[in-house]
Structure 1
């Protein structure tokens, strides 16, 4: 299988007053295309920083990241933005929907940016799939948290990304709503053959993925492949 993400000897340091704070140290792993993968660890272990680096949202200090066959450090900001627009999907804990746009507009905008002539129709189909066919014209403020995250799911999959990064996708949801969102996430992921990378503190959610990477203090402490029936 082709590697869709290849991380080698990754190091990231931030200034904390007079001191350097190393958030990630000597992190190396790879992910195969189509794999489901979770990154877990306690608060402050470097999970979200790692996801941001892998998605090209932040720059590394040492090491290399190859995403979709491209070495990220060789790209400028415009090239990174183009790569993300064409190949990458995102789901965030706080949904990050555009408050001035309806559910339908939130999902169709990424498609329109790609020049898709069927943007609105495809967005409607995706909202139907996540159970929001009667919410096209609702604004985020008119939707519950679970409904907002389902709109975010539809938006993330709208461009049929090669890889999707989900940062604590159930972090702001109650348990029952979170379970429904995760079911939809995995169903859409399977249908579209996307590579799924989830950052989570929820070990039950992590157990649903094929591989679990555990971080502690910015270092990998285990990288387990699981047998999923």
Structure 2
């Protein structure tokens, strides 16, 4: 099985006044294509920073990230953006929908930007899969938190990403709504054959993944197989 993500000796340090804050320290791991992978740890352990570096949203101070065989450090910003558009999907805790666009438009616009054929048809099919056929012409302000996250799910899978990064995908949702989102996320992921990387403090959610990486104080304290394929 090919590696979709290779992270080697990753480090990230921020300057705060006269102090240096090391957020990630010598983090290494790899993920096979099609795996589900959880990154867990307490607040401040470096989870979200690690996710951003893996997705090429930020630059490490040390180490390398290879995404789909490409060293992210060798790319300029335009090349990084192109690689993300082609290979990566995102789901965020705060949904990040465009408020002036309807649910359907939020899914369709990225497809149009990528030059997809029949983007409206694809958008409607995806919203149907997440149970929002009757809500697709509503704006984000007219949707509940769970409905907004379902739109975000549909959008994330719209470009058939090779890898999907989900940052606390249930963090702003109640238990029942969060459970439904998790179920949809894994169903869509299995159907699409996407590699799924979830950052979460929710241990129950993490247990659903094949692999689990545990961070504490910016360091890897465990990396274990939970479910054999």
Q: TM-score, with normalisation over the residues of structure 1?
A: 0.99
Counterpart of 1:66 in structure 2 is 66
Counterpart of 2:14 in structure 1 is 14
Question: 5+ residue gaps in structure 2?
Answer: none
Distance 2:86 2:6 in 1: 19
Distance 1:196 1:147 in 2: 21
Distance 1:136 1:206 in 2: 30
Large movers: runs of 4+ above 3 Å? none
Counterpart of 2:203 in structure 1 is 203
Counterpart of 1:225 in structure 2 is 225
Counterpart of 1:160 in structure 2 is 160
In the alignment, structure 1 residue 86 sits paired with structure 2 residue 86: yes
Counterpart of 1:214 in structure 2 is 214
Distance 2:42 2:211 in 1: 18
| RMSD of aligned residue pairs (Cα, Å) | 0.8
CA apart distance, 1:228: 5.6
Q: TM-score, with normalisation over the residues of structure 2?
A: 0.99
Distance 1:226 1:170 in 2: 21
Distance 2:114 2:207 in 1: 35
| 1:31–1:47 CA distance, 2 compared to 1 (3 A) | same
In the alignment, structure 1 residue 55 sits paired with structure 2 residue 55: yes
Question: 5+ residue gaps in structure 1?
Answer: none
Counterpart of 1:185 in structure 2 is 185
Distance 1:70 1:130 in 2: 32
Per-residue displacement from partner, 1:51-100 (whole Å, max 9, x unpaired)?
Answer: 00000000000110000110000100100110111100000000000000
Distance 1:136 1:24 in 2: 40
CA apart distance, 1:227: 2.4
* Aligned length, in residue pairs: 229
Q: Pick which of 110-119 and 36-45 moved more.
A: 110-119
Counterpart of 1:138 in structure 2 is 138
CA apart distance, 1:182: 0.4
Per-residue displacement from partner, 1:162-217 (whole Å, max 9, x unpaired)?
Answer: 00000000000000000000000000000000000000000000000000000000
